[in-house]
Structure 1
Amino acid sequence: MRRMLAAALTVALAATVAPTSLADETASLGQPANNPWSNVQAWETAIVERVVDGDTVIVNDEVTGAQSRVRLLGINAPEKPTTKKPGNCGGEQASQWLTALLPVGTRVRLLSSDRASTGKNMRPQRVVLAYNDTTGDFDQDVAWGMAERGWGLWFTVPSEASMSSLYRAAIEGAQANRRGMWEPQLCGAIEQPNASLSLRISRGNGNVADETVTIRNTGGTTVDLTGWMLRDAGNAGWYTFPGGSVLTPGDYRTVHTGKGRDRRPTGHDVYRDRKKELYVDPGTEPNLVGDGAYLLDRAGNYRSWREYP
Protein backbone atom coordinates (compact mmCIF):
# COMPACT_ATOMS: atom_id res chain seq x y z
CA MET A 1 0.00 0.00 0.00
CA ARG A 2 2.75 2.44 0.97
CA ARG A 3 4.83 1.56 -2.09
CA MET A 4 1.82 2.13 -4.38
CA LEU A 5 1.10 5.52 -2.82
CA ALA A 6 4.73 6.56 -3.16
CA ALA A 7 4.79 5.54 -6.82
CA ALA A 8 1.67 7.57 -7.53
CA LEU A 9 3.25 10.65 -5.99
CA THR A 10 6.56 10.39 -7.83
CA VAL A 11 5.40 12.03 -11.06
CA ALA A 12 3.58 14.84 -9.26
CA LEU A 13 6.63 15.72 -7.18
CA ALA A 14 9.35 15.20 -9.77
CA ALA A 15 9.61 18.89 -10.57
CA THR A 16 9.74 20.08 -6.98
CA VAL A 17 11.72 17.66 -4.84
CA ALA A 18 15.38 16.73 -4.80
CA PRO A 19 16.45 14.33 -7.57
CA THR A 20 16.08 11.20 -5.41
CA SER A 21 13.09 9.00 -6.30
CA LEU A 22 10.23 9.43 -3.83
CA ALA A 23 9.10 5.86 -4.48
CA ASP A 24 12.51 4.43 -3.62
CA GLU A 25 12.99 6.65 -0.59
CA THR A 26 9.54 6.00 0.88
CA ALA A 27 10.00 2.27 0.51
CA SER A 28 13.05 2.55 2.78
CA LEU A 29 11.52 4.77 5.47
CA GLY A 30 13.88 5.42 8.35
CA GLN A 31 14.95 2.35 10.28
CA PRO A 32 18.02 3.33 12.34
CA ALA A 33 20.17 0.43 13.45
CA ASN A 34 20.22 -1.14 16.91
CA ASN A 35 16.80 0.00 18.15
CA PRO A 36 17.92 3.41 19.49
CA TRP A 37 14.60 4.29 21.17
CA SER A 38 15.34 2.64 24.52
CA ASN A 39 15.74 6.02 26.27
CA VAL A 40 12.27 7.27 25.38
CA GLN A 41 8.99 5.94 26.73
CA ALA A 42 6.11 4.79 24.55
CA TRP A 43 2.93 6.53 25.71
CA GLU A 44 0.36 6.02 22.97
CA THR A 45 -0.43 4.21 19.75
CA ALA A 46 -2.54 6.10 17.27
CA ILE A 47 -3.88 6.28 13.73
CA VAL A 48 -2.83 9.05 11.35
CA GLU A 49 -5.76 11.34 10.51
CA ARG A 50 -3.81 13.77 8.32
CA VAL A 51 -0.48 15.52 7.90
CA VAL A 52 -0.51 19.26 8.64
CA ASP A 53 2.96 20.16 7.39
CA GLY A 54 6.48 18.75 7.30
CA ASP A 55 6.78 18.22 11.06
CA THR A 56 3.20 18.09 12.38
CA VAL A 57 0.60 15.34 12.11
CA ILE A 58 -2.91 14.88 13.48
CA VAL A 59 -3.57 11.45 15.00
CA ASN A 60 -6.39 9.66 16.80
CA ASP A 61 -5.51 7.60 19.88
CA GLU A 62 -6.21 3.90 19.26
CA VAL A 63 -7.58 3.38 22.77
CA THR A 64 -9.45 6.57 23.65
CA GLY A 65 -10.12 7.99 20.20
CA ALA A 66 -8.81 11.37 21.38
CA GLN A 67 -7.36 13.52 18.63
CA SER A 68 -3.94 15.16 19.01
CA ARG A 69 -1.88 17.52 16.89
CA VAL A 70 1.60 16.02 17.32
CA ARG A 71 4.89 17.83 16.70
CA LEU A 72 7.78 15.61 15.59
CA LEU A 73 10.78 15.83 17.89
CA GLY A 74 14.23 16.40 16.44
CA ILE A 75 13.61 18.41 13.28
CA ASN A 76 12.16 21.71 12.13
CA ALA A 77 10.79 21.41 8.61
CA PRO A 78 10.33 24.39 6.27
CA GLU A 79 7.04 26.14 6.98
CA LYS A 80 4.21 25.22 4.62
CA PRO A 81 2.49 28.19 2.92
CA THR A 82 -1.02 28.95 4.20
CA THR A 83 -3.67 31.57 3.51
CA LYS A 84 -2.26 33.56 6.44
CA LYS A 85 1.49 33.06 5.99
CA PRO A 86 3.71 32.78 2.92
CA GLY A 87 5.73 29.91 4.40
CA ASN A 88 9.22 28.91 3.29
CA CYS A 89 10.70 27.54 0.13
CA GLY A 90 10.54 23.76 0.53
CA GLY A 91 7.56 23.90 2.87
CA GLU A 92 5.14 22.39 0.38
CA GLN A 93 7.59 19.66 -0.59
CA ALA A 94 8.32 18.77 3.04
CA SER A 95 4.59 18.41 3.70
CA GLN A 96 4.19 16.19 0.63
CA TRP A 97 7.05 13.98 1.71
CA LEU A 98 5.68 13.53 5.22
CA THR A 99 2.27 12.74 3.72
CA ALA A 100 3.91 10.05 1.58
CA LEU A 101 5.71 8.62 4.61
CA LEU A 102 2.56 8.74 6.78
CA PRO A 103 -0.51 8.02 4.64
CA VAL A 104 -3.90 8.42 6.28
CA GLY A 105 -4.59 5.33 8.37
CA THR A 106 -0.96 4.57 9.24
CA ARG A 107 -0.52 3.15 12.74
CA VAL A 108 2.07 5.01 14.80
CA ARG A 109 3.63 4.73 18.24
CA LEU A 110 4.30 7.99 20.10
CA LEU A 111 7.29 8.27 22.43
CA SER A 112 8.91 10.94 24.60
CA SER A 113 10.97 11.27 27.76
CA ASP A 114 8.15 13.16 29.47
CA ARG A 115 4.53 12.38 28.68
CA ALA A 116 3.60 16.02 29.39
CA SER A 117 6.13 17.34 26.86
CA THR A 118 4.54 20.01 24.67
CA GLY A 119 5.77 22.68 22.29
CA LYS A 120 4.26 25.70 20.59
CA ASN A 121 0.46 25.87 20.85
CA MET A 122 0.61 23.03 23.40
CA ARG A 123 1.23 20.40 20.74
CA PRO A 124 2.46 17.11 22.23
CA GLN A 125 6.11 16.60 21.23
CA ARG A 126 6.84 13.03 20.26
CA VAL A 127 9.19 10.66 18.52
CA VAL A 128 6.85 9.10 15.95
CA LEU A 129 7.45 5.50 14.89
CA ALA A 130 5.40 4.12 12.00
CA TYR A 131 4.32 0.50 11.95
CA ASN A 132 6.38 -1.75 9.69
CA ASP A 133 4.35 -4.49 8.00
CA THR A 134 7.53 -6.44 7.23
CA THR A 135 8.87 -6.66 10.79
CA GLY A 136 5.53 -6.45 12.58
CA ASP A 137 6.87 -3.69 14.81
CA PHE A 138 6.88 0.09 15.19
CA ASP A 139 10.44 0.64 13.97
CA GLN A 140 10.22 3.30 11.23
CA ASP A 141 11.37 6.60 12.72
CA VAL A 142 9.56 9.31 10.79
CA ALA A 143 11.69 12.28 11.89
CA TRP A 144 14.82 10.32 11.02
CA GLY A 145 13.34 9.55 7.61
CA MET A 146 12.60 13.23 6.99
CA ALA A 147 16.04 14.28 8.25
CA GLU A 148 17.84 11.74 6.09
CA ARG A 149 15.98 13.01 3.03
CA GLY A 150 16.88 16.61 3.82
CA TRP A 151 13.52 17.98 4.94
CA GLY A 152 14.37 19.41 8.32
CA LEU A 153 16.82 21.52 10.30
CA TRP A 154 18.38 19.98 13.39
CA PHE A 155 16.11 21.18 16.20
CA THR A 156 16.79 20.16 19.79
CA VAL A 157 14.60 20.39 22.87
CA PRO A 158 16.91 20.06 25.92
CA SER A 159 14.43 17.95 27.90
CA GLU A 160 13.70 15.72 24.88
CA ALA A 161 17.11 15.18 23.29
CA SER A 162 17.53 11.42 23.59
CA MET A 163 17.44 11.01 19.82
CA SER A 164 19.22 14.23 18.85
CA SER A 165 22.58 12.62 17.96
CA LEU A 166 20.85 10.24 15.56
CA TYR A 167 18.92 13.04 13.86
CA ARG A 168 22.03 15.24 13.69
CA ALA A 169 23.93 12.52 11.83
CA ALA A 170 21.06 12.03 9.38
CA ILE A 171 20.87 15.76 8.68
CA GLU A 172 24.63 16.03 8.19
CA GLY A 173 24.37 13.31 5.55
CA ALA A 174 21.61 15.22 3.76
CA GLN A 175 23.65 18.42 3.91
CA ALA A 176 26.76 16.74 2.51
CA ASN A 177 24.77 15.26 -0.37
CA ARG A 178 22.63 18.41 -0.84
CA ARG A 179 19.32 16.59 -0.57
CA GLY A 180 15.90 18.12 0.07
CA MET A 181 16.00 21.66 1.46
CA TRP A 182 19.80 21.63 1.03
CA GLU A 183 19.56 21.18 -2.75
CA PRO A 184 21.53 24.15 -4.20
CA GLN A 185 18.82 25.36 -6.58
CA LEU A 186 15.69 24.19 -4.78
CA CYS A 187 14.30 27.73 -4.64
CA GLY A 188 15.56 28.98 -7.99
CA ALA A 189 18.77 29.70 -9.84
CA ILE A 190 21.76 30.45 -7.62
CA GLU A 191 22.71 34.11 -7.53
CA GLN A 192 26.38 34.96 -7.08
CA PRO A 193 27.38 31.30 -7.52
CA ASN A 194 31.02 31.99 -6.68
CA ALA A 195 30.18 33.36 -3.22
CA SER A 196 32.18 31.68 -0.47
CA LEU A 197 31.01 32.60 3.03
CA SER A 198 31.72 31.30 6.52
CA LEU A 199 29.62 31.65 9.68
CA ARG A 200 30.81 31.89 13.27
CA ILE A 201 28.46 31.86 16.26
CA SER A 202 29.45 33.59 19.49
CA ARG A 203 26.98 32.73 22.23
CA GLY A 204 25.97 35.27 24.83
CA ASN A 205 26.23 32.95 27.86
CA GLY A 206 23.20 34.62 29.41
CA ASN A 207 23.77 38.09 27.97
CA VAL A 208 21.88 38.88 24.77
CA ALA A 209 24.21 41.82 24.11
CA ASP A 210 27.11 39.41 23.63
CA GLU A 211 25.41 36.98 21.25
CA THR A 212 26.51 37.38 17.62
CA VAL A 213 26.86 35.61 14.29
CA THR A 214 29.69 36.73 12.01
CA ILE A 215 29.47 36.18 8.26
CA ARG A 216 32.83 36.47 6.48
CA ASN A 217 33.62 36.53 2.77
CA THR A 218 36.26 33.81 2.44
CA GLY A 219 36.32 33.86 -1.36
CA GLY A 220 38.02 35.94 -3.99
CA THR A 221 34.97 37.84 -5.29
CA THR A 222 32.79 40.58 -3.82
CA VAL A 223 29.44 39.36 -2.43
CA ASP A 224 26.32 41.50 -2.04
CA LEU A 225 24.25 40.22 0.89
CA THR A 226 21.41 42.71 0.34
CA GLY A 227 18.14 40.82 0.82
CA TRP A 228 19.86 37.66 2.05
CA MET A 229 18.56 36.12 5.27
CA LEU A 230 20.13 34.77 8.44
CA ARG A 231 18.12 32.43 10.64
CA ASP A 232 18.50 30.03 13.56
CA ALA A 233 17.06 26.51 13.80
CA GLY A 234 13.75 27.87 15.10
CA ASN A 235 11.34 30.18 13.33
CA ALA A 236 11.67 33.38 15.38
CA GLY A 237 15.18 34.51 14.54
CA TRP A 238 15.06 35.67 10.92
CA TYR A 239 17.16 38.68 9.92
CA THR A 240 17.25 40.25 6.44
CA PHE A 241 20.37 42.14 5.41
CA PRO A 242 19.71 45.76 4.43
CA GLY A 243 20.78 47.47 1.22
CA GLY A 244 24.48 48.09 0.91
CA SER A 245 25.53 44.88 2.69
CA VAL A 246 28.45 44.34 0.33
CA LEU A 247 31.41 42.21 1.40
CA THR A 248 34.70 42.49 -0.42
CA PRO A 249 37.08 39.52 -0.05
CA GLY A 250 37.97 39.16 3.63
CA ASP A 251 35.24 41.57 4.76
CA TYR A 252 32.55 40.56 7.25
CA ARG A 253 29.32 41.50 9.00
CA THR A 254 28.62 40.79 12.66
CA VAL A 255 24.91 40.32 13.36
CA HIS A 256 24.13 41.10 17.01
CA THR A 257 21.06 39.45 18.53
CA GLY A 258 20.51 42.36 20.92
CA LYS A 259 19.78 46.04 20.46
CA GLY A 260 22.09 48.62 18.93
CA ARG A 261 22.67 51.01 16.10
CA ASP A 262 23.83 49.62 12.76
CA ARG A 263 27.45 50.39 11.88
CA ARG A 264 28.30 50.96 15.55
CA PRO A 265 30.81 50.44 17.11
CA THR A 266 32.35 49.54 13.73
CA GLY A 267 31.08 49.61 10.17
CA HIS A 268 30.75 45.84 10.30
CA ASP A 269 27.98 45.64 12.95
CA VAL A 270 24.22 45.19 12.46
CA TYR A 271 21.51 44.39 15.01
CA ARG A 272 18.39 42.22 15.31
CA ASP A 273 17.05 44.28 18.25
CA ARG A 274 15.84 41.25 20.20
CA LYS A 275 15.42 41.10 23.98
CA LYS A 276 16.33 37.43 24.40
CA GLU A 277 19.08 35.16 23.16
CA LEU A 278 18.33 32.95 20.16
CA TYR A 279 20.86 30.17 20.47
CA VAL A 280 20.32 27.40 23.03
CA ASP A 281 22.94 26.30 25.54
CA PRO A 282 25.04 23.45 24.14
CA GLY A 283 25.16 20.11 25.89
CA THR A 284 26.72 16.71 25.24
CA GLU A 285 25.84 14.73 28.36
CA PRO A 286 23.73 12.74 28.59
CA ASN A 287 22.26 13.94 25.27
CA LEU A 288 23.43 16.20 22.45
CA VAL A 289 21.84 19.67 22.53
CA GLY A 290 22.69 22.53 20.20
CA ASP A 291 21.58 24.96 17.52
CA GLY A 292 22.68 26.45 14.23
CA ALA A 293 22.92 29.58 12.09
CA TYR A 294 21.91 29.43 8.44
CA LEU A 295 22.47 31.90 5.59
CA LEU A 296 19.93 31.95 2.74
CA ASP A 297 20.06 33.92 -0.48
CA ARG A 298 17.16 36.06 -1.68
CA ALA A 299 15.48 33.09 -3.38
CA GLY A 300 15.65 31.06 -0.17
CA ASN A 301 18.45 28.64 -1.09
CA TYR A 302 20.67 27.58 1.82
CA ARG A 303 24.15 28.89 1.01
CA SER A 304 26.14 28.48 4.23
CA TRP A 305 25.53 27.20 7.76
CA ARG A 306 27.18 26.48 11.07
CA GLU A 307 25.87 24.15 13.78
CA TYR A 308 27.16 23.44 17.27
CA PRO A 309 28.41 21.74 19.33
Structure 2
Amino acid sequence: MSVTLEQMYCLTGILLLAFSVYTLLDKNHKARYGTAAFWALYGVTFIGGKEIPAWIVGLIVVLMALLAAKKWLGTGSYGESSKEEKQHEAVRFGNRLFLPTLIVPVVTFLVAKFTSMGALVGLGLGSLCGLAAAMAMTRESLKVAGNEGRRLIDAIGWAVILSQFLAALGALFDKAGVGKVVAGLVASVAPTDNVLAVVVAYCLGMTLFTMIMGNAFAAFAVITSGIGIPLVIQLHGADPAIIGVLAMLSGYCGTLMTPMAANFNVVPAALLEMTDKNGVIKAQIATALPLLVIQIALAYWLAFAGVR
Protein backbone atom coordinates (compact mmCIF):
# COMPACT_ATOMS: atom_id res chain seq x y z
CA MET A 1 0.00 0.00 0.00
CA SER A 2 1.38 3.38 -1.03
CA VAL A 3 0.83 6.61 0.90
CA THR A 4 0.81 9.86 -1.05
CA LEU A 5 2.10 13.25 0.01
CA GLU A 6 -1.40 14.71 -0.39
CA GLN A 7 -2.68 12.18 2.15
CA MET A 8 0.03 13.21 4.61
CA TYR A 9 -0.92 16.86 4.10
CA CYS A 10 -4.55 15.96 4.75
CA LEU A 11 -3.58 14.14 7.95
CA THR A 12 -1.62 17.21 9.05
CA GLY A 13 -4.68 19.36 8.44
CA ILE A 14 -6.86 17.03 10.50
CA LEU A 15 -4.36 17.24 13.34
CA LEU A 16 -4.46 21.05 13.21
CA LEU A 17 -8.26 20.99 13.27
CA ALA A 18 -8.07 18.72 16.32
CA PHE A 19 -5.80 21.28 18.01
CA SER A 20 -8.39 23.93 17.18
CA VAL A 21 -11.18 21.90 18.81
CA TYR A 22 -9.02 21.20 21.87
CA THR A 23 -8.37 24.94 22.16
CA LEU A 24 -12.07 25.84 21.98
CA LEU A 25 -12.77 23.38 24.80
CA ASP A 26 -9.97 24.82 26.95
CA LYS A 27 -11.68 27.41 29.13
CA ASN A 28 -8.37 28.39 30.73
CA HIS A 29 -6.85 29.39 27.40
CA LYS A 30 -5.84 33.05 27.33
CA ALA A 31 -6.95 33.58 23.74
CA ARG A 32 -8.87 30.46 22.79
CA TYR A 33 -11.03 31.90 20.01
CA GLY A 34 -8.21 33.58 18.13
CA THR A 35 -5.87 30.62 18.59
CA ALA A 36 -8.54 28.12 17.56
CA ALA A 37 -9.35 30.16 14.46
CA PHE A 38 -5.66 30.37 13.52
CA TRP A 39 -5.05 26.60 13.68
CA ALA A 40 -8.38 25.86 11.97
CA LEU A 41 -7.53 28.16 9.06
CA TYR A 42 -4.08 26.64 8.80
CA GLY A 43 -5.58 23.14 8.84
CA VAL A 44 -7.98 24.00 6.02
CA THR A 45 -5.07 24.95 3.75
CA PHE A 46 -3.54 21.50 4.28
CA ILE A 47 -6.75 19.59 3.78
CA GLY A 48 -7.99 21.61 0.80
CA GLY A 49 -4.62 21.73 -0.89
CA LYS A 50 -4.89 22.18 -4.64
CA GLU A 51 -8.71 22.09 -4.53
CA ILE A 52 -8.99 25.52 -2.89
CA PRO A 53 -8.73 28.47 -5.32
CA ALA A 54 -5.54 30.49 -4.93
CA TRP A 55 -7.39 33.69 -4.01
CA ILE A 56 -9.14 31.92 -1.12
CA VAL A 57 -5.83 30.58 0.19
CA GLY A 58 -4.49 34.12 -0.05
CA LEU A 59 -7.46 35.40 1.96
CA ILE A 60 -6.86 32.70 4.58
CA VAL A 61 -3.21 33.77 4.87
CA VAL A 62 -4.26 37.41 5.34
CA LEU A 63 -6.72 36.41 8.08
CA MET A 64 -4.01 34.38 9.82
CA ALA A 65 -1.65 37.34 9.61
CA LEU A 66 -4.29 39.61 11.17
CA LEU A 67 -4.86 37.16 14.03
CA ALA A 68 -1.13 37.09 14.74
CA ALA A 69 -0.73 40.87 14.35
CA LYS A 70 -3.59 41.54 16.77
CA LYS A 71 -1.91 39.18 19.26
CA TRP A 72 -5.00 36.99 19.44
CA LEU A 73 -2.85 33.90 19.90
CA GLY A 74 -1.96 32.57 23.32
CA THR A 75 -1.42 29.58 25.56
CA GLY A 76 -3.78 27.59 27.71
CA SER A 77 -4.05 24.64 30.06
CA TYR A 78 -2.66 21.32 28.83
CA GLY A 79 -2.93 19.01 31.84
CA GLU A 80 0.84 18.87 32.20
CA SER A 81 2.63 16.82 34.82
CA SER A 82 4.41 18.65 37.61
CA LYS A 83 8.14 19.30 37.40
CA GLU A 84 8.75 16.64 40.03
CA GLU A 85 6.72 14.07 38.08
CA LYS A 86 8.65 14.85 34.89
CA GLN A 87 11.97 14.41 36.68
CA HIS A 88 10.81 11.12 38.16
CA GLU A 89 9.73 9.81 34.75
CA ALA A 90 12.98 10.99 33.17
CA VAL A 91 14.97 8.97 35.71
CA ARG A 92 12.69 5.94 35.26
CA PHE A 93 13.01 5.82 31.48
CA GLY A 94 16.58 7.05 31.18
CA ASN A 95 18.00 7.01 27.67
CA ARG A 96 14.95 5.12 26.40
CA LEU A 97 13.29 8.53 26.16
CA PHE A 98 15.27 9.09 22.95
CA LEU A 99 13.89 5.98 21.27
CA PRO A 100 10.74 7.60 19.73
CA THR A 101 12.88 10.46 18.44
CA LEU A 102 15.38 8.09 16.83
CA ILE A 103 12.60 6.13 15.16
CA VAL A 104 11.58 9.17 13.09
CA PRO A 105 14.80 9.55 11.02
CA VAL A 106 15.25 5.78 10.70
CA VAL A 107 11.77 5.29 9.21
CA THR A 108 12.22 8.39 7.04
CA PHE A 109 15.45 6.99 5.60
CA LEU A 110 14.02 3.52 5.01
CA VAL A 111 10.94 4.85 3.22
CA ALA A 112 13.00 7.27 1.10
CA LYS A 113 15.60 4.61 0.25
CA PHE A 114 13.50 1.54 -0.40
CA THR A 115 10.15 2.89 -1.62
CA SER A 116 8.94 5.37 -4.21
CA MET A 117 6.91 7.39 -1.69
CA GLY A 118 9.64 9.96 -1.02
CA ALA A 119 11.33 11.46 2.02
CA LEU A 120 8.46 13.76 3.05
CA VAL A 121 6.01 10.87 3.21
CA GLY A 122 8.70 8.95 5.10
CA LEU A 123 8.96 11.80 7.59
CA GLY A 124 5.21 11.69 8.16
CA LEU A 125 5.19 7.91 8.61
CA GLY A 126 8.24 8.15 10.85
CA SER A 127 6.46 10.69 13.04
CA LEU A 128 3.47 8.38 13.37
CA CYS A 129 5.75 5.48 14.30
CA GLY A 130 7.54 7.67 16.84
CA LEU A 131 4.20 8.70 18.33
CA ALA A 132 3.09 5.06 18.60
CA ALA A 133 6.37 4.13 20.29
CA ALA A 134 6.09 7.01 22.77
CA MET A 135 2.51 6.08 23.67
CA ALA A 136 3.42 2.40 24.09
CA MET A 137 6.41 3.26 26.26
CA THR A 138 4.65 5.78 28.52
CA ARG A 139 1.22 4.09 28.39
CA GLU A 140 -0.38 7.48 27.86
CA SER A 141 -3.54 8.08 25.83
CA LEU A 142 -3.94 9.78 22.46
CA LYS A 143 -5.64 12.67 24.28
CA VAL A 144 -2.48 13.31 26.30
CA ALA A 145 -0.43 13.21 23.11
CA GLY A 146 -2.82 15.68 21.50
CA ASN A 147 -2.58 18.07 24.42
CA GLU A 148 1.22 17.88 24.36
CA GLY A 149 1.22 18.57 20.64
CA ARG A 150 -1.09 21.53 21.20
CA ARG A 151 1.16 22.83 23.98
CA LEU A 152 4.19 22.76 21.71
CA ILE A 153 2.48 24.36 18.73
CA ASP A 154 0.93 27.06 20.95
CA ALA A 155 4.40 27.80 22.33
CA ILE A 156 5.73 28.18 18.78
CA GLY A 157 2.74 30.25 17.68
CA TRP A 158 2.64 31.99 14.31
CA ALA A 159 6.34 31.24 13.69
CA VAL A 160 5.40 27.68 12.74
CA ILE A 161 4.36 28.88 9.27
CA LEU A 162 7.39 31.11 8.71
CA SER A 163 9.31 28.51 6.69
CA GLN A 164 6.49 28.24 4.15
CA PHE A 165 6.22 32.01 3.87
CA LEU A 166 9.94 32.40 3.30
CA ALA A 167 10.08 29.60 0.73
CA ALA A 168 7.24 31.26 -1.19
CA LEU A 169 9.05 34.59 -0.94
CA GLY A 170 12.18 33.02 -2.43
CA ALA A 171 10.18 31.71 -5.38
CA LEU A 172 8.68 35.16 -5.93
CA PHE A 173 12.11 36.77 -5.83
CA ASP A 174 13.34 34.31 -8.42
CA LYS A 175 10.35 35.01 -10.71
CA ALA A 176 10.87 38.75 -10.28
CA GLY A 177 14.45 38.49 -11.58
CA VAL A 178 16.22 39.33 -8.33
CA GLY A 179 18.91 36.82 -9.31
CA LYS A 180 19.91 38.93 -12.32
CA VAL A 181 20.15 42.00 -10.12
CA VAL A 182 22.36 40.12 -7.67
CA ALA A 183 24.59 38.94 -10.54
CA GLY A 184 24.97 42.53 -11.73
CA LEU A 185 25.93 43.73 -8.25
CA VAL A 186 28.51 40.98 -7.83
CA ALA A 187 29.98 41.64 -11.27
CA SER A 188 30.40 45.31 -10.40
CA VAL A 189 32.17 44.59 -7.10
CA ALA A 190 34.05 41.28 -7.42
CA PRO A 191 36.59 40.41 -10.16
CA THR A 192 34.60 37.76 -12.02
CA ASP A 193 37.70 36.40 -13.74
CA ASN A 194 39.06 35.31 -10.35
CA VAL A 195 37.82 31.86 -9.30
CA LEU A 196 38.29 32.41 -5.58
CA ALA A 197 36.45 35.73 -5.72
CA VAL A 198 33.32 34.27 -7.34
CA VAL A 199 33.37 31.27 -4.97
CA VAL A 200 33.53 33.62 -1.99
CA ALA A 201 30.76 35.74 -3.50
CA TYR A 202 28.58 32.66 -4.04
CA CYS A 203 29.04 31.13 -0.59
CA LEU A 204 28.96 34.44 1.27
CA GLY A 205 25.94 35.52 -0.77
CA MET A 206 24.14 32.33 0.25
CA THR A 207 24.98 33.02 3.90
CA LEU A 208 23.86 36.66 3.89
CA PHE A 209 20.73 36.10 1.83
CA THR A 210 19.75 33.19 4.06
CA MET A 211 20.10 35.48 7.06
CA ILE A 212 17.73 37.91 5.36
CA MET A 213 15.27 35.29 4.12
CA GLY A 214 15.59 32.92 7.08
CA ASN A 215 15.57 29.96 4.72
CA ALA A 216 18.49 28.51 2.74
CA PHE A 217 16.16 26.92 0.19
CA ALA A 218 14.61 30.29 -0.60
CA ALA A 219 18.05 31.90 -0.88
CA PHE A 220 19.39 29.10 -3.07
CA ALA A 221 17.02 29.83 -5.95
CA VAL A 222 17.99 33.50 -6.03
CA ILE A 223 21.76 33.31 -5.41
CA THR A 224 22.33 30.27 -7.62
CA SER A 225 20.51 31.81 -10.56
CA GLY A 226 22.40 35.08 -10.05
CA ILE A 227 25.91 33.92 -9.10
CA GLY A 228 26.20 30.13 -9.01
CA ILE A 229 25.12 29.22 -12.53
CA PRO A 230 26.40 32.16 -14.65
CA LEU A 231 29.63 32.98 -12.80
CA VAL A 232 30.77 29.86 -10.96
CA ILE A 233 29.50 27.01 -13.16
CA GLN A 234 29.26 28.42 -16.70
CA LEU A 235 32.13 30.92 -16.58
CA HIS A 236 34.65 28.88 -14.59
CA GLY A 237 33.41 25.30 -15.10
CA ALA A 238 32.75 24.25 -11.49
CA ASP A 239 31.17 20.87 -10.82
CA PRO A 240 27.45 21.72 -10.33
CA ALA A 241 26.79 18.86 -7.89
CA ILE A 242 29.69 19.74 -5.60
CA ILE A 243 29.37 23.52 -5.68
CA GLY A 244 25.59 23.33 -5.21
CA VAL A 245 25.86 21.22 -2.07
CA LEU A 246 28.60 23.38 -0.54
CA ALA A 247 26.72 26.58 -1.36
CA MET A 248 23.63 25.20 0.36
CA LEU A 249 25.74 24.32 3.41
CA SER A 250 27.05 27.90 3.37
CA GLY A 251 23.43 29.01 3.48
CA TYR A 252 22.88 26.85 6.55
CA CYS A 253 25.69 28.80 8.23
CA GLY A 254 23.46 31.84 7.80
CA THR A 255 20.55 29.90 9.28
CA LEU A 256 22.52 29.52 12.49
CA MET A 257 22.95 33.28 12.83
CA THR A 258 19.53 34.81 12.14
CA PRO A 259 16.28 35.23 14.07
CA MET A 260 14.48 34.97 10.72
CA ALA A 261 15.09 31.22 10.92
CA ALA A 262 12.44 31.09 13.60
CA ASN A 263 11.94 27.33 13.58
CA PHE A 264 15.65 26.80 14.31
CA ASN A 265 16.51 29.71 16.58
CA VAL A 266 13.40 31.40 17.99
CA VAL A 267 11.29 28.31 18.63
CA PRO A 268 13.95 26.48 20.73
CA ALA A 269 14.41 29.60 22.83
CA ALA A 270 10.65 29.73 23.42
CA LEU A 271 10.32 26.01 24.19
CA LEU A 272 13.27 26.11 26.59
CA GLU A 273 11.87 29.29 28.17
CA MET A 274 15.21 31.08 27.78
CA THR A 275 15.39 34.62 29.14
CA ASP A 276 17.62 35.67 26.23
CA LYS A 277 15.55 35.09 23.09
CA ASN A 278 18.71 35.35 20.97
CA GLY A 279 20.65 32.97 23.20
CA VAL A 280 20.53 30.14 20.65
CA ILE A 281 21.93 32.40 17.92
CA LYS A 282 24.73 33.71 20.14
CA ALA A 283 25.75 30.16 21.01
CA GLN A 284 25.82 29.11 17.36
CA ILE A 285 27.89 31.98 15.90
CA ALA A 286 31.14 30.40 17.10
CA THR A 287 30.27 27.34 15.02
CA ALA A 288 28.77 29.09 12.00
CA LEU A 289 31.68 31.39 11.11
CA PRO A 290 34.49 28.78 11.09
CA LEU A 291 32.16 26.41 9.25
CA LEU A 292 31.56 29.03 6.56
CA VAL A 293 35.30 29.42 6.02
CA ILE A 294 35.61 25.64 5.68
CA GLN A 295 32.76 25.53 3.13
CA ILE A 296 34.46 28.22 1.02
CA ALA A 297 37.77 26.36 1.13
CA LEU A 298 36.14 23.06 0.18
CA ALA A 299 34.18 24.71 -2.64
CA TYR A 300 37.36 26.23 -4.09
CA TRP A 301 39.30 22.97 -3.76
CA LEU A 302 36.75 20.29 -4.69
CA ALA A 303 34.40 21.94 -7.20
CA PHE A 304 37.25 22.83 -9.57
CA ALA A 305 39.32 19.66 -9.19
CA GLY A 306 38.26 18.42 -12.61
CA VAL A 307 39.10 21.65 -14.46
CA ARG A 308 42.56 22.35 -13.05
State the TM-score, normalized to the length of structure 1. 0.22
Pick the structure with more strand per residue: 1
Pick the structure with more helix per residue: 2
Asked which structure has the greater CA Rg, the reply is 2
State the TM-score, normalized to the length of structure 2. 0.22
